[in-house]
Structure 1
């Protein structure tokens, strides 16, 4: 996901915006965790259910069954367990093995929203307080994004975590997909042998929402696997620039995108006003820039339809820079990291901050996939195939060290 302050790949039409305060206080009438009425994101589901029923078809019976079964639940604890179990089942359906390895990330995204809308209505009927609603939706989101499916254990296997993102640009194209989410679903649970190493892959898909990042979703998903550590490599992935993969060398701390998230939330950030993200009610603390630790040279040798660029471009308070080393960015304020000023840069920064805290030698880094304007199976297959080669090259080089 690439929204650059200096270069915007797709024009953005501004709709009625929702308020956001960088103090960490979100408008509770448009929060996926506290809102009693459908959120801005959930309201888009009406278009899908009316005009694009084929996208929801893999989940429609499951959604109908959920809508019926929830009616008999009257207690908070039962509803919490039901929500968590439902999220886990959503993920299981999305990653279910098939003869066609290629996955479409859109059915899971829209099914999650269809069910969260039903779940939201039921929490209102039960008159649950804000804390209980938040807990229900937090557990539902985590489970439906792959959290409860992770089963990494200490072993001789090489264990890789991949994170993708939900679709975005949805007010411009309601049926937009995100190649990074499709990659996450296609590779989740896959085991491959690379130079006598058994490599196991597990995935998460993150929301395109500032609130979830400020609540610590990235840290919640990754910390337990990086602290022990159980993961041997972490690749965060999002959709980026046309016709190329980018290995984002220097993620930056601050947000600078002036554009909204999937909830139509604006942070007030801009190139002239880069803002610090939040983490569980406090300002996210860390250096202005960090550096990824993936074997970029080996990854660039992965052949395919697209160029692979080791991208070292950043924007600082003193302008654009192309540093060769992290030390060249000392005493400069981040405006854009190599991955931009939006949430793709931020997941990269947060994951590397965890790496630096728990295991500085862990290979961690962000990859931007080529940009796509709509779902195209041939295009998605080419992206996935080359990404797999990039991953194999990264594992070979890391395991050899």
Structure 2
């Protein structure tokens, strides 16, 4: 029997009304109530005392105090509220684990397909600019909070809930729809990222994620011939990286055979006014906290189920056709091959404590390029998840012996936001993002076109 229909407006706020933040086990109020007040469930099938992630706990937060939750505003502005509402209805109506799995899989894929179609002008949904990546993030996060809060007798193990969450996450990021069209076009696989730094501002956008939505499934015409692109959006989350989200995406197109890509490229956001082709990826973590406020330090972890080099290299150099990308004459921002790394030179690890491989912080050296035998501390693109996306995808490329497939990372310009802190968008912001995304698309096309010239 189907349960009563929950309201999306209540769901968006109520699913996170009272949460326990997983990283700190601290009760927080997100819907205007104090943590120990009883909260009416947003839907009959959802618990209000579920342990949510930090990302999910932001669902009830407004841009400014007293305002409407930012997540709801983005979801409704893109016209995704109906899709999310149907997900709630059918999730609450599922009477078995198999039925819930079908609901989650279908609606995760549906969210990705609708977001791509909207970005590429195919469905006319919503009122917000079609280059906007943020509604996809907030819709996915709303749906994951519902799965995490689901109160159902058929969920007999936390592992079953985690499996549903994994299915939702990967389908709604494009992982399950990677497929090359027939023809002789050059094949390029790219990744972008979710929005991030959300503790600074909930309205942050990420032009790399916007680029992925613009390019997934498209074929670009170039003077050298067609270039076809498949794309995914990666999470800004160390835990998902440890669980192989990068390898699961790029591994599909690095296997020997007819599905192998001709070029792979990870893309992320950097500082304002720069388009950097990173020369090196570093086997190092040490950047800012992720979207769940976790921070890591040390080498990049190794997934157990994908081929890897026997020993993870400290450095991997780009093999992208960077000169062709630079010479393509794109704009508005300058395109450069970006060097500059930080390392612990060979022999500078402190093992006097009896625990080997402890870096001596006083010996850290920053220079243009790595020295022989050095241990990586950061690459030209830093030591955050952007660097790690390049490192993981190209370590996998080496492990799968795809030596003929060029790979590397493109850092693209940050954006300038409306001065009114309660505005989701304005024409100047939209024009700025479009300029960055369109230049990125031109650089992807230039890289793909150059593959045939090897």
Matches of 2:243 and 2:89 in 1, distance apart? Answer: 31
Out of 146-155 and 95-104, give the one that drifted further.
95-104
Matches of 2:301 and 2:276 in 1, distance apart? Answer: 23
Post-superposition shift, 1:163? Answer: 0.2
TM-score (norm 1): 0.84
Residues 1:227 and 2:255 aligned together: yes
Query: What is the match of residue 289 of structure 1?
Result: 315
Residues 1:300 and 2:300 aligned together: no
Contact 2:269 2:411 in 1 (8 A): yes
Matches of 1:95 and 1:400 in 2, distance apart? Answer: 31
Residues 1:313 and 2:331 aligned together: no
Matches of 2:278 and 2:376 in 1, distance apart? Answer: 14
Contact 2:147 2:161 in 1 (8 A): no
Contact 1:152 1:230 in 2 (8 A): no
Matches of 2:181 and 2:50 in 1, distance apart? Answer: 39
Out of 377-386 and 387-396, give the one that drifted further.
387-396
Q: Pick the structure with greater CA Rg.
A: 2
User: CA deviation digits over 1:337-370, x for unaligned, max 9?
Assistant: 1221110000100111122222112111100111
Query: What is the match of residue 341 of structure 1?
Result: 383
**Map of 1:2-401 to 2, 5 A cutoff?**
18=23, 36-47=50-61, 50-52=68-70, 53-57=72-76, 58-96=79-117, 97-98=120-121, 102-122=130-150, 126-152=154-180, 155-195=183-223, 197-228=225-256, 229-257=259-287, 259-267=288-296, 269=297, 274-280=298-304, 285-301=311-327, 302-318=329-345, 319-323=365-369, 328-357=370-399, 358-374=401-417, 376-401=429-454
Out of 390-399 and 216-225, give the one that drifted further.
390-399
The CA RMSD over aligned residues, in Å, is 2.5
Q: Report the 3-state secondary structure (helix = DSSP H, G, I; strand = E; otherwise coil) of the residue aligned with 2:317.
A: coil
Contact 1:123 1:133 in 2 (8 A): no
Contact 2:227 2:449 in 1 (8 A): no
Matches of 2:413 and 2:402 in 1, distance apart? Answer: 30
Matches of 2:282 and 2:182 in 1, distance apart? Answer: 32
User: CA deviation digits over 1:244-296, x for unaligned, max 9?
Assistant: 11101110011022x311011123x2xxxx344342499x8510000111111
Aligned residues: 361
Matches of 2:300 and 2:244 in 1, distance apart? Answer: 14
Stretches of structure 2 that go unaligned for 5 or more consecutive residues are 1-20, 25-48, 346-364, 418-424
Post-superposition shift, 1:196? Answer: 5.2
Contact 1:102 1:186 in 2 (8 A): no
Matches of 1:122 and 1:145 in 2, distance apart? Answer: 21
Stretches of structure 1 that go unaligned for 5 or more consecutive residues are 1-15, 20-34
TM-score (norm 2): 0.74
Matches of 2:23 and 2:160 in 1, distance apart? Answer: 24
